[in-house]
Structure 1
Amino acid sequence: MENKVITNILVPTDFSECADNAMQAAIAVAKFHKARLTLVHVVAPIPELYGLEEDRATKEQQQELLETQTERISIIAAALREEQGLFVGPLIRIGQTITQICETVAELNIDLVIMGTHGIRGFREFLIGSNTYGVTEKSRAPVLSIPLSSKIYQFKKIMFPVRNIPNALEKYLFLKTFMGRNTPKLVVYGIYKIDDTHLATAYKRVSLFVKDIRKEWSEVKVASVITEENLADEVLERAIEMRCDLIVITAKVGKSIKDFFLGKFAQQMVNHSTLPVLHIK
């Protein structure tokens, strides 16, 4: 990923408290980067019914819903333009939420997606899933997820968990772009399973990586752990203990790549974190 500016931010909304909270973070990020905000609301299609009268009623119901939601999102966009001095565009899409958001990312050349998340755990997680994690998994752009419980919109201490250092610099460049002129504290957190091999090599790579980036931050702290515990829980607990206010995770895309920051780990991080999570591919 090349080190470019952030000029185009997408903010999906379902008009919930969770989405409104993420909107506040998006406003802060957009002001900092002087970026355009695009608000998108996805309307689920109403199933078609057989018969002329039923079909007509369905289309009328769909059109009424579209008009209502279009007016609603347009009012929000206009208020943001007037009150925040931002360039804000409203958008309505029809279809499946994750698919429509990811298609919008590609079509509008979005640099960053900012979404709210509820922080779901346990059995419900597998029943209802998470639109935010789904977008995180499939979006071509980085995704900043904002938990409902988080009111942090400026980041002063960042945790950057690493395991496989190759390609870390590629992800790090977007983090630098995201932070811009700010130079907060950075915690590079090496985390390893107890059965990992070549630990000495991994430690050396972490040290070299930190040496390369140290001058660009107000403070760089290095920490590491070898654990038998759940890796996501380990990162989340340590981030809270160290009073971090943003966690950055990275991922590669590809079915053949078994990377540490794929699948279950990323899902748990996005769904369970009480801190904002920036997911960079």
Structure 2
Amino acid sequence: MEAYEIRKILVPVDFSPIASNALETAIAMCKRQLSTLTLIYVIENSYLLFPPEAGGAGAEVFPKLQKDANDNLANLCKELRVKHDIVINHIVQAGNPADEICRWALHKKYDLVVMGTHGASGLREFFLGSNAYRVVKNAPCPVMTIPGTQQWLDFKKILFPIRMVPHALDKYEYVRPIIRKNSSTLLVAGIVKKNDTGDFIEMKKLVDTVRNRITEDDVECNSEVHNCENVAREVLDIANAVKTDLIVITATLDNSLKDFFLGPYTQDIVNHAKVPVLSIRPQQGIDPNVEMESITSTSLPLQPWALS
């Protein structure tokens, strides 16, 4: 693959504290990576389908909603442009929020999506919180989810867990720009299930290979191998113990369900991590004939007026 660079970052905003917190992370990354930043605000189409007496806005109110959103984002972009000296623009789009984020990420070839996450419990835990779930599942680029618990402006300690799954090492190329710009230290943690002696030996070899590859980049790197009952829980426990600033995971899909659900490993980590998580899908990208079908069939056309 070509060397991955973070040149264009897309940030969903809804003016909530959690979204604003993720925006601060994205701004800090833009300044380090010399990236351009785009804010996207999505007016939910379900809100437009119902008249005001039914709790919606009604289609006739859409022009005002669109104008207000454009005005608010234009003012925010102007303020951030002056304050941080960054290149920033914005998009206003009607549709399903997660679907529009993915469509614009694909349409404009963004390198990274940075978005806030609420965490989840119960049924919301299973579905990863619908917007974050759909974005991590469908985005054509890596997705960084930012918990709203505190501000994350740099990443000095990065946890790099490895499992015995295909393409587990691909994610290193995606995290290299972050490591370089943050002067990060990396902990490579091989994770295998208990009593899998063969996997433990193979994992030890794999971890050594990865560590040697990383140290060739003059990156400070430590490594270890863990036996555990629950892989996701072990990753989270390691992250808490070493006080990491970022977890980098391979976001695998559950093929037994025709790729409809993210694997429980991905769900558990994104839902419960107390620190940002960078989710990278193997062979990152979208088959436009498959996964994007459900998105384009329910969304409004990309609007030429939306990008400013």
Do they superpose with TM above 0.5? yes
Q: Find the residue that maps to 1:216 and give its secondary structure.
A: coil
Q: Find the residue that maps to 1:198 and give its secondary structure.
A: helix
Equivalent in the alignment of 2:231: 231
Distance (Å, rounded) in 2 between the aligned partners of 1:252 and 1:233:
16
Distance (Å, rounded) in 1 between the aligned partners of 2:50 and 2:258:
42
Give the drift of 1:173: 1.0
* 1:212–1:124 CA distance, 2 compared to 1 (3 A): closer
Equivalent in the alignment of 1:221: 222
Distance (Å, rounded) in 1 between the aligned partners of 2:195 and 2:95:
44
Q: Find the residue that maps to 2:154 and give its secondary structure.
A: coil
Give the drift of 1:254: 8.1
1:124-159 CA distance string (max 9 Å, x none): 434782412321111011011110013121111110
Q: Find the residue that maps to 1:247 and give its secondary structure.
A: strand
Equivalent in the alignment of 2:121: 121
Give the drift of 1:75: 1.2
Q: Is the 8 A contact 1:130 1:271 kept in 2?
A: no
Q: Is the 8 A contact 1:2 1:170 kept in 2?
A: no
Q: Is the 8 A contact 1:150 1:276 kept in 2?
A: no
Distance (Å, rounded) in 2 between the aligned partners of 1:60 and 1:194:
60
Equivalent in the alignment of 1:146: 146
1:21-66 CA distance string (max 9 Å, x none): 00100000000111110000110121156xxxx9xx8222222222
Superposed counterparts of 1:1-281, under 5 Å? 1-45=1-45, 46-47=48-49, 58-126=58-126, 129-164=129-164, 167-194=167-194, 196=196, 198-199=198-199, 200-228=201-229, 230-252=230-252, 255=255, 262-281=262-281
Equivalent in the alignment of 2:286: none
Q: Find the residue that maps to 2:244 and give its secondary structure.
A: coil
Q: Is the 8 A contact 2:157 2:245 kept in 1?
A: yes
- After TM superposition, the structure 1 stretch with the greater mean CA deviation from structure 2, 120-129 or 236-245, is 120-129
Equivalent in the alignment of 2:294: none
Distance (Å, rounded) in 1 between the aligned partners of 2:2 and 2:250:
15
Q: Is the 8 A contact 2:128 2:271 kept in 1?
A: no
* 1:126–1:181 CA distance, 2 compared to 1 (3 A): closer
Aligned-partner residue type, residue 47 of structure 1: L
Give the drift of 1:219: 2.3
Give the drift of 1:165: 6.5
Equivalent in the alignment of 2:290: none
Distance (Å, rounded) in 2 between the aligned partners of 1:212 and 1:257:
35
Q: Is the 8 A contact 2:125 2:267 kept in 1?
A: no
Aligned-partner residue type, residue 214 of structure 1: T
Distance (Å, rounded) in 1 between the aligned partners of 2:127 and 2:257:
27
Aligned-partner residue type, residue 213 of structure 1: I
Distance (Å, rounded) in 2 between the aligned partners of 1:242 and 1:82:
37
Q: Find the residue that maps to 1:180 and give its secondary structure.
A: helix
Q: Is the 8 A contact 1:39 1:91 kept in 2?
A: yes
Give the drift of 1:176: 0.6
Percent of matched pairs sharing the same residue: 37
Q: Name the count of aligned residue pairs.
A: 273
* 1:63–1:146 CA distance, 2 compared to 1 (3 A): same
Supply the RMSD in Å over aligned alpha carbons: 2.6
What are structure 2's unaligned runs of at least 5 residues? 282-308
TM-score between the two structures when normalised by the length of structure 2: 0.81
Q: Is the 8 A contact 2:49 2:59 kept in 1?
A: no
TM-score between the two structures when normalised by the length of structure 1: 0.88
- After TM superposition, the structure 1 stretch with the greater mean CA deviation from structure 2, 128-137 or 267-276, is 128-137
Q: Is the 8 A contact 1:2 1:173 kept in 2?
A: no
Q: Is the 8 A contact 2:252 2:266 kept in 1?
A: no
Aligned-partner residue type, residue 206 of structure 2: R
